[in-house]
């Protein structure tokens, strides 16, 4: 099997907020860009791939050095997170209003591959799909 060089990676934060997630996102983006890799962020765990309509079609967004500048001290995660998005047991609402769990693993892989194949690393890094929180109660001190 021929190995392809890494050209892009995706970051997904799931399981709920944890201190330092934005710092990890920032460090990952910086390290990846230093290697020449494109970085993508998946909104709200796997929801960005499995339900992109929740984000106006922008369930996966381009992360750049400029986009992650100044996020390390912010709480939460700029990508959002969920603890209810297991793609192997994904909750899907039925026409009658009931909920069932479905294995959407194959769909997840196909969507990720499709996004990787059709997304250009030069995509607009200023997209509003991923916004920093508008209010912050703490500030970094010098």
CA distance 60 to 43: 6
Quick one: average pLDDT of 109-113?
83
Fold of 8-118: Rossmann fold (3.40.50)
What residue segments make up the domains of the chain, in order of their start? 8-118
CB 77 within 8 A of CB 22: yes
The residue count of the chain comes to 142
Q: Which residue has the tokens 């920032």?
A: 26
pLDDT at 66: 96
pLDDT at 10: 93
Write the secondary structure of 1-22 as one string of H (helix), E (strand) and C (coil): CCCCCCCEEEEECCCCCCCCHH
Q: How confident is the model at residue 116 (pLDDT cuts 50, 70, 90)?
A: low
């Amino acid at each position: 099997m021929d190995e392809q060089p890494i050209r892009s990676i995706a970051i997904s934060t799931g399981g709920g907020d944890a201190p330092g997630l934005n710092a990890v996102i920032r460090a990952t983006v910086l390290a990846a860009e230093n290697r020449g890799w494109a970085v993508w962020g998946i909104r709200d765990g796997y929801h960005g791939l499995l339900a992109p309509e929740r984000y106006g079609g922008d369930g996966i967004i381009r992360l750049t050095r400029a986009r992650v500048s100044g996020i390390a001290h912010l709480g939460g995660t700029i990508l959002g997170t969920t603890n209810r998005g297991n793609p192997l047991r994904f909750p899907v609402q039925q026409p009658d209003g009931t909920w069932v769990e479905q294995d959407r693993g194959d769909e997840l892989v196909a969507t990720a591959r499709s996004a990787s194949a059709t997304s250009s690393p030069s995509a607009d890094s200023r997209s509003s799909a991923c916004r920093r929180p508008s209010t912050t109660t703490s500030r970094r001190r010098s």
